[in-house]
Amino acid sequence: MSSRLHDLAVDTLGRRIVDGKLPAGATLLAASLETELGVSRSVVREAVRVLASLGLVESVKRLGIRVLPASSWNVFDASVIRWRLASSGKGAQLRSLTELRSAVEPAAAELAAVHGSDDAAAELIAIAGRMRAVGRAGRLEEFLELDIRFHALVLAASGNEMFARLQGVIAEVLRGRTHYGLMPAQPHEEALQLHLDVADAVLGRRPEAARDAMDRIMRRTVAEVEPVWRDEPRAFPG
C-alpha cells in the first residue's frame, strides 16, 4: 500500500508540475501535501526526493518545496516524457522526441548494419515480418510492442552505448503516439515495408541502405504527426 501511495503521489505531483498547474517558483509545504494527497509525511518526503532527482523540485530550508522551471527537468527520463505527452504541451514534446529520433535512428541503423550481430539482424527480420502481419490485422497494441522491440534492437545493435540508452525514451514516444490516438487504425503498407527494408539492409551489411530506409520511416512519421505540434511554440526558441 505504501508503495502504491508513493507512486500515486509522484505521478500526481509530476503531472501537475509538467502541465503548469504548479508553475515554476511555486512553493509547496509538506504538511499541505499530506492533507491534500491523503498520505503520510514519509510518503511525501520520498515523493519529493524522486521529483527532485528529476529536476522538478528542490527543497529549500525554512521555505518548503520549490517547483523548478522546465530548463531544470531531466527531459530524457521516461516519467517526465510520459507526463509531458499527457499534458497540454504534448505537441511540443512529441516534436522534440520525433526530431531526436530523426537525428539518431538513421545513424543507429547504419551502424547496426556494420556492427550488429547476425542474431540481432535475424531477429530484426523476424520482428519486421510479425509487424507486417499484426499491422495488417489492425492489432495496434501488439504492433506497438513489436515496434518498440524493433527500434530498441536497432539502437542496441549499433554498438553505441549512448544510442542504446535511448531505448526507454523512444519506447515512451511510441506508446504515447498509440495511446493518444496519433496512429492510423492500420499502419501504412509503406511503413511496414520500410521496417523490412531496414532489417534486410542490416542483415545484408548494407549501411547506406539501412540509414536510408530508417530515414524514410522517420520522414513518414514526421508527415503523419506534424499537425499535432504545428502551432506549438518551441521550448528553446534560440
pLDDT at 185 over 80: no
Determine the residue type at 186: Q
pLDDT greater than 80 at residue 227: yes
Tell me: pLDDT of 135 over 70.
Answer: yes
Q: What is the pLDDT of residue 75?
A: 94
- Is the distance from CB of 146 to CB of 191 less than 8 angstroms? no
52-87 confidence digits (pLDDT tens): 999 999 999 988 999 999 999 999 999 999 999 999
Q: With bands split at pLDDT 50, 70 and 90, how would you rate the model's confidence at 234?
A: confident
* CATH 1.10.1750.10 fits domain 78-229: no
| Alpha-helix runs per DSSP H in 41-89 | 41-53, 78-85
pLDDT of 233 above 90: no
- Look up the pTM and report it: 0.89
Cα-based distances in Å from 158 to 109, 130, 146, 147, 191: 7, 22, 19, 17, 21
Class of 2-72 in CATH: mainly alpha
- Angular region, 62: left φ>0, alpha ψ -120 to 50, beta rest: left
Per-residue confidence (pLDDT) for residue 2, from 0 to 100: 66
- Strand extents, DSSP E, the chain: 27-28, 57-60, 64-67
pLDDT of the residue at 236:
64
**Strand order through the sheet with 64-67:** 27-28, 64-67, 57-60
- Percentage of residues in the chain having pLDDT higher than 90: 83
Domain segments of the chain as ranges: 2-72, 78-229
According to the model, what pLDDT value does residue 26 have?
97
Query: Which pLDDT belongs to residue 12?
Result: 97
